[in-house]
């Protein structure tokens, strides 16, 4: 697939993981071209499966794969990793082509008859999103249950965005009591635990004395990463990578996490703290 594109081929080869250091077995060569966990897994899957889908379509039409054929079905074929969407008329041929090349299609999780469809974790019926919203944690009864409160606010906002406003209103009453009234309307990008609204956008209570930007009083998640110190070459590499990332994202800004060489990883505990901050 990459033979006709030498620059792309060299880039892919340079970013491949060709070996793995396995504890107890030492350095082991990897037979897979793009093994799981590699940054190349999804791109290579998408390239391979897209090619096979169009081969299956061409096979059904008894035509060769040409730019004209690809252009004709552009938009009707969607591939994201191993998640494949294609016109229902070509499904048997596409499945046969995939299996011909050694891939196993899970027919129990594939849908091409009736009106139900599933893709990338979302469920659809007759073109309408019917995905369920799961309540993943027990509704908290105390403000000390920080993780449960964070989950409840997120769940409320999911219900609201799906148009289940009565359910969202019921949860609002629970959250207002838990947060002692500090439950403002905020934008989705705000760090504040607040309500999302399609009508009002956000609300604020005062203006920052230095920056003249809106501020709102609400609870913000505080999560301290566990101690995980690094030094030497590893610390140097992490600093340079972090600075390059910050320059790309924010424009020549230094690394904002000053203690990233002492603390990193998934936080052990989560707390919420009342403070003034941006509503957007």
Report pLDDT for 93: 95
Assess contact for 195 and 160: CB atoms under 8 A.
yes
The last residue of one of the domains, among 72, 103, 129, is 129
Report pLDDT for 265: 63
136 to 119, 130, 154, 175: CA distances (angstroms): 21, 18, 10, 16
Q: Does residue 241 lie within any of the structural domains? A: no
119, 157: one domain: no
**Residue 267, Ramachandran bin (φ over 0: left; ψ between -120 and 50: alpha; else beta):** beta
Q: Which of 189, 192, 180, 181 is nearest to 153 (CA)?
A: 192
Of the two residues 228 and 172, the one the predictor is more confident about is 172
Q: Which of 221, 178, 171, 213 is nearest to 196 (CA)?
A: 171
Report pLDDT for 198: 87
Going 269 to 273 to 278 to 280, the CA torsion angle's sign is positive
Q: What is the mean pLDDT of residues 250-258?
A: 45
Q: Which DSSP state fits 255?
A: P
77, 120: one domain: yes
Report pLDDT for 248: 42
104, 159: one domain: no
Q: Does residue 273 lie within any of the structural domains? A: yes
Q: Does residue 258 lie within any of the structural domains? A: no
Q: What is the mean pLDDT of residues 117-143?
A: 86
Round to whole Å and give the CA distance between 184 and 219.
9
249 to 211, 243, 254, 264, 279: CA distances (angstroms): 21, 10, 11, 20, 21
Assess contact for 220 and 277: CB atoms under 8 A.
yes
162, 124: one domain: no
178, 209: one domain: yes
178, 273: one domain: yes
Using one digit for the tens of pLDDT, what is the confidence trace for 131-164? 888 888 888 888 888 888 889 999 999 999 888 8
Using one digit for the tens of pLDDT, what is the confidence trace for 192-246? 899 998 888 888 888 988 888 899 899 988 877 667 677 788 778 777 776 655 5
48, 104: one domain: yes
Report pLDDT for 269: 66
Round to whole Å and give the CA distance between 42 and 147.
32
172, 210: one domain: yes
Expressed in percent and rounded to 5, the helix, strand and coil fractions of the chain are 35, 20, 45
The last residue of one of the domains, among 65, 99, 129, is 129
HSE, side-chain direction, 13 A CA sphere, residue 176: 9
Report pLDDT for 127: 86
Report pLDDT for 247: 46
Q: Does residue 122 lie within any of the structural domains? A: yes
Using one digit for the tens of pLDDT, what is the confidence trace for 4-58? 999 999 998 888 888 888 899 999 998 888 887 778 888 899 999 999 999 999 9
Residue 273 pLDDT grade (very low, low, confident, very high; cuts 50, 70, 90)? confident
The residue range of the domain holding 190 is 146-226+269-277
76, 199: one domain: no
Round to whole Å and give the CA distance between 174 and 183.
11
Q: Which of 144, 278, 125, 141 is nearest to 212 (CA)?
A: 278
pLDDT at 254 over 50: no
Residue 262 pLDDT grade (very low, low, confident, very high; cuts 50, 70, 90)? low
Domain count, the chain: 2
Report pLDDT for 264: 64
The last residue of one of the domains, among 94, 129, 164, is 129
Q: What is the CA radius of gyration of the chain?
A: 25
58, 167: one domain: no
Report pLDDT for 252: 39
Report pLDDT for 259: 66
């Amino acid at each position: 697939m990459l033979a006709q594109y030498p620059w792309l081929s060299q880039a892919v080869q340079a970013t491949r993981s060709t070996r793995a250091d396995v504890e107890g077995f030492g350095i082991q060569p990897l037979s897979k071209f793009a093994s799981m966990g590699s940054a190349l897994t999804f791109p290579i899957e998408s390239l391979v499966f897209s090619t096979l889908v169009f081969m299956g379509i061409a096979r059904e039409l008894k035509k060769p794969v040409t730019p004209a054929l690809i252009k004709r079905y552009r938009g009707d074929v969607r591939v994201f990793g191993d998640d494949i969407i294609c016109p229902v008329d070509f499904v048997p041929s596409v499945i046969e082509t995939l299996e011909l090349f050694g891939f196993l299609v899970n027919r129990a999780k594939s849908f091409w008859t009736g009106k139900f469809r599933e893709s990338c974790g979302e469920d659809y019926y007759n073109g309408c999103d019917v995905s369920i919203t799961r309540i993943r944690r027990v509704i908290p009864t105390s403000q000390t249950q920080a993780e449960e409160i964070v989950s409840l606010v997120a769940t409320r906002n999911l219900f609201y965005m799906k148009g289940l406003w009565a359910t969202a209103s019921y949860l609002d009453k629970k959250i207002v009591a838990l947060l002692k009234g500090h439950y403002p309307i905020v934008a989705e990008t705000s760090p504040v635990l607040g309500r999302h609204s399609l009508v009002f956008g956000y609300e604020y209570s005062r203006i920052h004395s230095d920056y003249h930007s809106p501020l709102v009083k609400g609870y913000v998640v505080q999560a301290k990463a566990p101690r995980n110190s690094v030094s030497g070459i590893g610390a140097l590499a992490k600093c340079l990578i972090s600075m390059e990332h910050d320059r790309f994202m924010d424009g020549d800004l230094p690394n904002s996490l000053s203690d990233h060489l002492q603390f990193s990883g998934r936080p052990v505990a989560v707390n919420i703290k009342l403070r003034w901050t941006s509503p957007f």
